[in-house]
Amino acid sequence: MCGINGIYAFRSAANLPTDGELVATRDHMRTRGPDGAGIWWSENRRCGIAHRRLSIIDLSERANQPMVSTDGGLVIVFNGEIYNYPALRAELQTEGVKFRTASDTEALLHLYARDGEAMVHKLRGMYAFAIWDVVKRALFLARDPYGIKPLYTANDGWTFRFASQVKALLAGGSVSRDPEPAGIVGFHLFGHLPEPFTLYREIRELPAGHFQWISEVGSHEPRQFAKLATVLAERGRNPGAPSELNAQVRQATLDSVSAHLLADVEVGVFLSSGVDSGALLGLMRDAGQERIRAITLGFDEFVGTSEDEVPFAAHVAKLYGAEHIVRRVSVNEFHEDLPRIFDAMDQPTIDGVNTWFVSKAAKEAGLKVVLSGLGGDELLAGYPSFQDIPRWHRRFGLPASIPFLGRAARVLTPLLTPSLVRRQPKSVGMLEYAGSWAGIYLLRRGLFLPHELPSLLGEDMAREGLRRLKPVSAIAAHLSPDPKAASGRVCLLESCNYMRNQLLRDADWAGMAHSLEIRVPLVDWNLAKALSPSIPGFVPGMGKQALALAPAVPLPDTVRGRSKTGFSVPTGRWMTYTMGPAVQHFTKGHASRDWAKLVLKTPNFSFVQAL
Amino acid sequence: MSVVLALVTDAFGGRGGIAQYNRDFLSALASCGHQVTAISRYAPDEVQLPAGIVQRSSHAGRIAYSVAAFGEAIFHRPDIVFCGHIFMAPLAWMVARVAAAKLVIQTHGIDAWSRPSRLVRWTCEQAAIILSVSRFTRARVLDWAAIPPERVLVIPNTVSDCFKPGNGAALRHEWKLRDKKVLLTVGRMCASERYKGQDRVINLLPRIINAGLDVVYVIAGKGDDLPRLERLVHEVGVSDRVRFVGSLPHEKLIEAYRMADLFVMPSTGEGFGIAYLEAMACGTPALGLAASGARDALLEGALGFITDDATLGRSIVEILKNPDVDRGELSRKVQQAFGVDQYRRCVSNAIAILEQTA
């Protein structure tokens, strides 16, 4: 896990990029890579790339980046981990390739030399990288299929820039801060920035599962090389026998966890009271890891309530013989850390506080790498949305298709049942959005609904943002090709929207702020491919049950039977202290709305409100 | 090689910056081997066509122009329809549809800076690529058009090699400017726009004179804002220091660039600012504001001088007092960055990107 960046003045008239800018962008990402830093310039100085290193595989200086191939023809900067690199290395060595280091970075260089852009199909892992091809005078960028690692780009028409963080690009001083209405509207609709948009018009995220070429000809459009919908649609045609599900889940998750333990430093685990992290811990044990340190967050506010994860987590840690580290977080610490949290937050988000504190705890324990159960709910139908969304579609889909009924309901509901609307502000949108899967998802995950935006952002910003973002069709694009089953559709909706743009982004900035690499074995392309025949057929509870039974010593019934909590943080309650007792939160949704407003008041993002 | 149908207001035989741009662009296409047919609305001057280009006789009327455009689309089946101005984008879109051709739309300056009508915006969003003359214009287009940024490309203006350093003494003699420090602005004086900044320079003249400089400000160009500027010159009390020389024929324009000490155009509304390039190609240093497309023409200060409104007067004085300019070197640098060869490469790159679009 590292920070990468680069500048390429592809248009011959453009001024040569400067050391100052390249280094300013790189060093804004200091916490991403505290162990080393480097820069490299092409001979004509039109292209410069830079790297900050967090060393995890091959800790020697030979593995520093930017890494140049032996013949000098290729240069790479890479953020992430390639979990199948031992196999790739062996394959390349049998073909006569000589390795100078033991790093996965070098494997990428050789693989590109052999396969060119087709190399991306061989990779298993989380990655964002850039390769400068000296002969082609072109940059090749790629980002992993799930979008675990971030990669932001900015093209002003003459010069192309990229970096692992939006704020790092801005720190270089040459990228426009003109606002992007689609990003601003996206944040209000979802509580996160939907890719490829950011808050700034000039900065875009290279979408997950895409690569992009930038040559002397110019910046070429990103091309998609992997899509989850395609995997589910193709493999879902031959569903596996339900009786084989448990064995299949066990085999595939153990394989993924084993792959994710590849490191030259100790790998820990985030342990909540849920099935996902508990099963990961058990599988780590099965994969042969001897010493395992598991970290759990505890809050005084939750002691004695069902939300307290500590007793359950302690039970699971004991079961698998892990060293259990319980980190207590108080409201005071929350307030103390809040400015740093906002400073580290790369783009506005309504979540990530939990990851901030658990990453902080991991760093205090001296860990550089941890496994997280992130992604289990998306893959194994763990969220309530796997029940709610199909139910809403059955119940409201037909009336929602009657022209104008949805809009009429939106106008009339507040008049007829004002208290319902106060408690459930999104209820007014049910008949307007329930006509399509994408519409229901917008409603289900939405922070605010489109009709609320003009009063928050002004008419023009709301209209322009919605026009550029096209939220419903953007969500619907992830559902094509159609997996033809409810669970498959919700899996796509959650994986390609909430998980990609919210959970994975939050894990990145909050982990990186503590120089911690968070690995996600349940967000793994091989795992998704292995389970894809079963995913469309999941009924609620089935996938999670299989995961709970996956370790050789299965998770106990007490954990299996717990309703979903995840890593929850009493932020709603803490905000009442922050914003005053006048703030009354009926639901988590209300708290999220207030949190979103608070985020936009911080210095980095307050320009949005000034627009 | 592609068959290109260019729908332009004017090109060969036309006058002004846009006609010049269209001539440069179409000539570059033809020199890359593409077969170009242009339909022009106006061609008041003699038409001299390079090889590979056909220009249909001008059709000023909208209906006649549209009929000619559809006729070309139907009978000659172009692969690419080039639309020279965004106000013609809806027509160009329909013509491209009829011909099943890829649509390329050119954006220049202020015409494309604010959000156009819904129809024009929508048709621009259907274009395979949009071309802009500067990064600034590109950014403004991306403000209002929902189109992937990779499809909006910058092709800067170019400057012909007939703009080169030479002796300006004859014109100085004719205009009685011997031993004077001469400031020059070349640009339209349009009452509805007023962005070129001649008024800024006029207001600064007393300060420049007070700094001990025997300065004369030559203003070339014409337009309906001229009476206001003449009044301003009178009010500021610098009538003996300002010369309005009107619109200059090509040869004389080159001489004017050569004889000036400093080309100054503190404009806030340049799409690109070809006049900066022409002046610098003639070896004369150029000064502009850090605003709009001028930043590109002046290469962010690497080629010309860039200043802001507050320090404009000081900058002019400093440059005039330190006239240490290698005119030959400046001209070479301009040709290196914006010469015809560079321009052709830009055009052929744009066509390469166009060919990749679906």
Which of A210, A217, A468 to mutate against chain B (most B CBs within 10 Å)?
A217
CB atoms within 10 A of CB A251: 13
- DSSP code per residue over A511-565: HHTTT-EEE-TTS-HHHHHHHTTTGGG--TTHHHHHHHT-SSSPPPHHHHTSPP-
Per-residue pLDDT tens over the stretch A102-139: 999 999 999 999 999 999 999 999 999 999 999 999 99
Structure tokens at A417: 């049942």
Contact B352 A219 (CB under 8 A): no
How many residues can be counted in chain B?
358
Q: Of B113, B134, B137, B142, which to mutate for an interface test with A (greatest number of A Cβ within 10 Å)?
A: B142
For residue A323, what are the contacts with CB-CB under 8 A and spacing of at least 6?
Answer: A291, A292, A293, A294, A317
Please list the residues that pair with A5 across neighbouring strands: A50, A163
* pLDDT given at position A606: 86
Q: Could you tell me the maximum CA-CA distance found in chain B, to the nearest angstrom?
A: 67
Query: Over chain A, what is the mean pLDDT?
Result: 91
Give pLDDT, residue A579.
Answer: 61
Q: Which strand (E) or helix (H) includes residue A589? A: helix A588-599
Query: Residue A208 contacts by C-beta under 8 Å, 6 or more apart in sequence?
Result: A143, A144, A145, A146, A147, A195, A496, A500
Q: Which tens digits make up the pLDDT trace of A370-419?
A: 999 999 999 999 999 999 999 999 988 887 777 777 788 788 777 777 77
C-alpha A52/C-alpha A102 separation (Å) is 18
pLDDT over 60 (residue A564): no
Residue in chain B nearest A219 by alpha carbon: B150
Interchain CB distance below 8 Å, A176 and B346: no
Asked if the Cβ–Cβ distance from B142 to A13 is below 8 Å, we say no
B338 part of contact set with chain A, CB < 8 Å: yes
Of B142, B154, B299, the CB nearest to A201: B142
Tell me the chain A residues in contact with residue B143 when contact means C-beta distances shorter than 8 Å. Answer: 178, 201
Segment A447-452 mean pLDDT:
92
Q: Tokens standing for A458?
A: 């002004």
In this prediction, residue A293 carries a pLDDT of 98
Q: What is the pLDDT of residue A578?
A: 62
pLDDT digits (tens, 9 = 90+) for B49-90: 999 999 988 788 899 999 999 999 999 999 999 999 999 999
In this predicted structure, what is the pLDDT of residue B269?
92
**Residues A337-343, mean pLDDT to the nearest whole number:** 94
Residue A565: is its pLDDT beyond 60?
no
Q: What percent of chain A has pLDDT over 70?
A: 96
Sorting pLDDT into bands at 50, 70 and 90, what band is A155?
Answer: very high
Residue contact B139–A467, C-beta within 8 A: no
How far apart, in whole angstroms, are the C-alpha atoms of residue A477 and residue A29?
A: 33
Rounded to whole angstroms, what are the CA distances from A446 to A187, A191, A376, A428, A429?
10, 8, 21, 13, 10
Cβ contact (<8 Å) for A467 and B143? no
Span B112-155, pLDDT tens digits:
999 999 999 999 999 999 999 999 999 999 999 999 999 999 99
pLDDT at residue A57, rounded to an integer: 80
Residue A566 has pLDDT above 60, yes or no: no
Q: How confident is the model at residue A194 (pLDDT cuts 50, 70, 90)?
A: very high
Confidence band, pLDDT 50/70/90 cuts, at residue A538: confident
pLDDT at A583 over 60: no
Q: Shortest Cα distance from B296 to chain A (angstroms)? A: 8
* Neighboring chain B residues of A202 at a CB cutoff of 8 Å: 139, 142, 149
pLDDT band of residue A433 (cuts 50, 70, 90) is confident
Comparing alpha-carbon positions, the chain B residue that sits nearest to A177 is B139
- Among candidates A15, A219, A221 on the partner chain, residue whose Cβ is nearest the Cβ of B300: A15
Query: Residues B106, B138: contact at Cβ < 8 Å?
Result: no
Residues B91 and B81: beta-carbon distance below 8 Å = no
Q: Quick one: what percent of chain A has pLDDT higher than 90? A: 74
Which pLDDT score is estimated for A580? 58
pLDDT grade for A429, boundaries at 50, 70 and 90: confident
Q: Comparing C-alpha atoms, which of A129, A145, A55 is closest to residue A369? A: A55
* Model confidence pLDDT, tens digit, residues A500-527: 999 999 999 999 999 999 999 999 999 9
Contact residues, chain A to chain B, C-beta under 8 Å: 11-13, 15, 155-158, 176, 178, 182, 201-202, 204, 216-222, 467-468, 470
Label residue B122 exposed, middle or buried (CB < 10 Å: 0-12, 13-18, 19+).
middle
Closest CA to A40 of A8, A75, A81: A75
Rounded to 5°, angle at Cα A479 from A477 and A480: 75
Residues 6+ apart with CB under 8 A from A393: A434, A437, A440, A486
Tell me if chain A has a CB within 8 Å of the CB of B341. no
- How far is the C-alpha of B277 from the C-alpha of B337, rounded, in Å? 10
* Chain A: residue whose CA lies nearest to B139: A156
Q: Cis ω on the peptide bond leading into residue A196 (within 30° of 0)?
A: yes
Q: For chain B, which ranges sit under pLDDT 50?
A: none
Residue A340 pLDDT > 60? yes
pLDDT (tens digit per residue) in A81-91: 999 999 999 99
Q: Among the listed ranges A170-184, A508-522, A544-558, A585-599, which one has the minimum average pLDDT value?
A: A585-599
Contact A188, A196 (CB under 8 A): no
Distance (Å) from the C-alpha of residue B196 to the closest C-alpha of chain A? 24
Using CA coordinates, name the residue in chain A closest to B115: A464
What residue in A sits closest to B358 (Cα-Cα)? A221
Which positions in chain A touch B135 (Cβ < 8 Å)? 156-158
Q: How many CB atoms lie within 10 A of CB B347?
A: 23
Task: State whether residue B349 sits within 8 Å of chain A by CB.
Answer: yes
> Where is average pLDDT lowest: A163-167, A245-249, A573-577?
A573-577
Which stretches within A245-403 are classed as H helix? 245-260, 275-286, 310-319, 331-344, 353-364, 376-379, 385-400
Grade residue A572 by pLDDT with cuts at 50, 70 and 90.
low
**Predicted confidence (pLDDT) per residue in A242-273, tens digit:** 788 999 999 999 999 999 999 999 999 999 98
Q: Do residue A157 and residue B153 have CB atoms under 8 angstroms apart?
A: yes
Task: State the amino acid at position B15 in one-letter form.
Answer: R
For residue A558, what pLDDT is reported? Answer: 80
Could you report the per-residue pLDDT of A20-72, keeping only the tens digit for each?
999 999 999 999 998 999 999 999 999 999 999 988 888 888 888 999 999 99
Distance CA A518, CA A506 (A): 11
Confidence of residue A356 (pLDDT cuts 50, 70, 90): very high
Which residue of chain A is at minimal alpha-carbon distance from B141?
A201
